[in-house]
Amino acid sequence: MKRDALSQRTFFEQVWLITLQIPRGKVTWYGFIAELLDAPHAARTVGWALHALTTEQSRWIPWHRVINKAGRCSLRNASFSYIEQQALLEEEGVQFDERGYTDLTVFGWEGLTPEEVQALLAQGRLPWESNQG
């Protein structure tokens, strides 16, 4: 796999590490994660990274806490329904209106500082990786 020289991780893995930091009951959007990774135009790639999770990996990565910037769940044409994604979030306390929009100013994740991102990419571990390194 192609890896970033600094983080030693692929962009996909970087996305997964960031996504792991989103707390229960909070959401963020694809472009926000792209900005945290200093790739402000890679929102589509963030979405693809989450789509690329295997079934087993998706049990550990809270992929459902990433929605679009409009405040709605995407997956409009995907196998996993946006309705199911919204239901997962509602179980965590994220509220949606009758049109399926949530208020990102209320339920949006505050994010990480650049220093926190750097530390995470340098030493963070994915759940299926050994802690021994």
Q: Which residues bind DNA (CB under 7 A)?
A: 1-2, 10-13, 29-32, 39, 41-48, 50-51, 53, 58, 63-64, 66, 68-70, 74-78, 80, 85, 99, 101
Compute the distance between CA of residue 91 and CA of residue 25 in angstroms, rounded to an integer: 8
Nearest CB to DNA, comparing residues 104 and 132: 104
Q: Are 26 and 107 in contact (CB under 8 A)?
A: yes
Nearest CB to DNA, comparing residues 103 and 116: 103
State in angstroms the smallest separation of the CB of 130 from DNA.
21
Query: Is residue 48 exposed (0-12), middle (13-18) or buried (19+ Cβ within 10 Å)?
Result: middle
Nearest CB to DNA, comparing residues 47 and 132: 47
Compute the distance between CA of residue 42 and CA of residue 37 in angstroms, rounded to an integer: 9
Task: Tell me the two tokens of residue 39.
Answer: 């790739």
State in angstroms the smallest separation of the CB of 24 from DNA.
16
The count of other CB atoms within 10 Å of the CB of residue 65 is 24
Nearest CB to DNA, comparing residues 118 and 132: 118
State in angstroms the smallest separation of the CB of 116 from DNA.
20
